[in-house]
Amino acid sequence: MRFTDGYWQLRPGVEMLRPRDIDSVEAGDDTLTVYAPTAPITRRGDTLNRPVVTVTFDAPADGVIGVRIEHHQGRRDPGPHFAVNRDPGTVKVVAPDSPVVGPAELTSGALTARIATDGEWQVDFLADGEVLTSSSGRSIGIATTPEGDFVHEQLALGVGEHVYGLGERFGAFVKNGQSIDVWNEDGGTASEQAYKNVPFYVTDRGYGVFVAHPERVSFEVGSEVVSRTQFSVPGQSLQYYVIHGPTPAEILRRYTALTGRPAVVPAWSYGLWLSTSFTTNYDEETVNGFIDGMAARDIPLSVFHFDCFWMRQFHWCDFVWDPATFPDPEGMLARLHDRGLKVCVWINPYIAQRSHLFREGQKKGYLVTTPDGDVWQWDKWQAGMGLVDFTNPDAAAWYKDKLRVLLRQGVDCFKTDFGERIPTDVVWHDGSDPQRMHNYYASLYNKLVFELLEEERGRGDAVVFARSATAGTQAYPVHWGGDCESTFVSMAESLRGGLSLSLSGFGYWSHDIGGFEGTPDPAVFKRWAAFGLLSSHSRLHGSSSYRVPWAFDDEAVDVTRKFTKLKLRLMPYLGRLGHVAAEEGMPVMRPMVLQFPDDRTAAGVDTQYMLGPSLLVAPVFHESRVEYYVPEGEWTRLPDVGAGQTPTVTGPRWIAEEHGFDSLPLLVRPGTVLPVGARDDRPDYAWAEGVTLRCTRLPEGFDEEVLVPGGTGSPATFRVRCESGVVHVTSDDAPGEWGVENEGRTVRATGPGEVAL
């Protein structure tokens, strides 16, 4: 939201209070509270009719400083609030004596907030003596506007500083110059709206900022004031956290420690998912035809997904299989399991008026109501639709039990669609502020379903396919990009959304291979298939047309088979990345700036990504041509793709190439040990058994441990060293046969031991 008319003037109807003086500073054991009048106090009479801005600093975690700006403190606060995990460590507080002379400081780890106590309002956030960002004389504002009361803060942007994140946003990857409202909407991927809004941004100057408000947060990123990032919220208080890096990776680690890290997802979820698509006609015979077709074409399939019309039309969501289409759901699910498949079904948190659950929920008081006590309803999406009130524990348990029936029938996971169309003219059971619940509902919804899956399937075997999210929802993976068009342009905008989401704390991300709206031409489908199967999760899904590859051409079948099998061979590597996401908050798919923060060219690259720390993936957004950036070093093409191209590529430089549909730039970073699995028929196998460690240009003195998770077997640890040009690999716990590949030569061993080549 903008409050000014240019730099000097306020918009008509806007009044603004700003801190102009420091009356006093109070120090607690780990807090500093600053009382700042809105005009200089030179005599006692100046305190009359004079507002005071109260600013409190604390440190919830090492390297993190919280700032709370308040005007009137007597306002009721019904919540909800984002959970913040507090582990403050050592906090150092320095406060000047009265009368106030000299700066006040609060230090957490290497990060210090230094508050000037004379002259204009000035707070500098420093790390190792260098100012990262600042709040200065015009930064804090307590605004009265025709739209209501607001509090804003502005933090300085340095020369060449870039801002990233703020959720899954499909516009420009670098957010400088953008006005962004954090407000979940069902707006597709081609507008400024987003399904997953996160009030957290990362900079390449060594810090990030989390605005801890689930309601609408308005960001002006170098827009209203080009030298500052402004964020504002309605009301009388604003809470934010400055998070030190210095690298973007360390910022993400600290942010996800505060708000939650992704769970480890089951191995089978990394395989290929096939959907019935949205409005297509299907029954068990159709489903079996798809599955038989994939098997006949040797395309490994891991999950079959039933979209909306597994239920009766106008009954969504009553969780009852349409008896005309699926007369024997338990038998059908058992037959799918016998074929080695997992099953996902579509759900959402809305209940149509025609459903028997609507009447049941209405009678029990489980649906959100209007202020006059009626059930809130509208006809968008479903006729007479109501909304389950997850703030009511009984309603949450009721909804869980309806889903539990499906799990016990044989369903393995849920696509938790929607959750963005949350009204604000309603009353919640627990008294929550409707404005705050609009975004926060996504976390309640996905948490409930994810925790049910953990209860029924066990920790580590739970996964959802979710569309809506906000801060903290990353704990309940996986999330996908929503409704995109079937074009190269939309393929690129989808990638930008995923890159932004990964810099917002989300470890996993997927998208609809081929696009959702419309039917892609064969070229788009084939290029999207390669991209999708080199993403953390991979799903074939569309709107009004099927996405089986033979619907396009024979080459689409070959491309889908090739990249599916490649992904399954990469499971020892991808599985480890999932554990890293859970342990450290690092995403599986990483923007170039995250992996190469000191490379100025990488700062703006948004048409490629790193799959983990070692694989560079450059999707091809054209029938044949691709241009991509290679950071410093001599990179090696993964032998499985890139036929006809030079085997190595040296950077830093941009490269233009021509690629067939069965190829794309897929490069291995120098100094990499890439574990490659022995199977390409399924993702859930014993990853360490038969694994091959591909060593790529290891430097002299290289000495690292390579951890291969177990998958369905036992894990293994390998120590890899390079001495005098010879690679030595030892393992004390290798569970079976394993191999080492270096410079085109391969040596195999069995069980614990050492090899050298």
417 is an active site residue:
yes
How far is Cα of residue 730 from the mean position of the Cα atoms in its chain?
36
| CA terminus-to-terminus distance, the chain | 62
743 is an active site residue:
no
746: left (phi over 0), alpha (psi -120 to 50) or beta: beta
Pair of tokens at residue 646: 């030079």
CA–CA dist 285, 406 (Å, integer): 21
CA–CA dist 494, 516 (Å, integer): 11
Active-site hit among 21, 420, 512, 741:
420
Is 222 in a helix, a strand, or coil? coil
The distance between the two most distant Cα atoms of the chain, rounded to a whole number of Å, is 88
Q: State the DSSP string of 703-717.
A: EEEEEE--BTS--EE
Cβ-Cβ contacts under 8 Å for 369 (sequence gap 6 or more): 375, 376, 389, 426, 427
Pair of tokens at residue 355: 């459903």
Pair of tokens at residue 696: 């790529």
Whole-number Cα distances in Å, 546 to 94, 298, 300, 552, 671: 65, 19, 18, 10, 42
Q: DSSP assignment, residue 620?
A: -
How far is Cα of residue 243 from the mean position of the Cα atoms in its chain?
18
The angle subtended at Cα 542 by Cα 540 and Cα 548, nearest 5°, is 50
Closest CA to 590 of 471, 650, 666, 505: 505
- Find where tokens 């100094």 sit: 671
Q: Check whether the bond before 52 is cis (ω within 30° of 0).
A: no
CA–CA dist 501, 166 (Å, integer): 7
Closest CA to 55 of 117, 144, 111: 117
CA–CA dist 450, 418 (Å, integer): 15
Active-site hit among 224, 417, 461, 680:
417
H-assigned helices in 139-228? none
Q: DSSP assignment, residue 350?
A: E
H-helix or E-strand spanning residue 451: helix 434-457
Is 279 in a helix, a strand, or coil? coil
682: number of Cβ within 10 Å? 19
User: Given the DSSP bridges, would you call strands 512-513 and 538-540 parallel, antiparallel or unpaired?
Assistant: parallel
CA–CA dist 532, 538 (Å, integer): 5
Pair of tokens at residue 339: 């074929």
CA–CA dist 475, 454 (Å, integer): 13
How far is Cα of residue 208 from the mean position of the Cα atoms in its chain?
15
CA–CA dist 598, 173 (Å, integer): 18
Pair of tokens at residue 570: 């990469």
Active-site hit among 483, 512, 684, 741:
483
How far is Cα of residue 720 from the mean position of the Cα atoms in its chain?
32
Closest CA to 200 of 508, 469, 504: 504
H-assigned helices in 60-125? none
Closest CA to 686 of 630, 742, 734, 746: 734
The angle subtended at Cα 673 by Cα 668 and Cα 676, nearest 5°, is 85
5 is an active site residue:
no
* Catalytic positions: 417, 420, 483
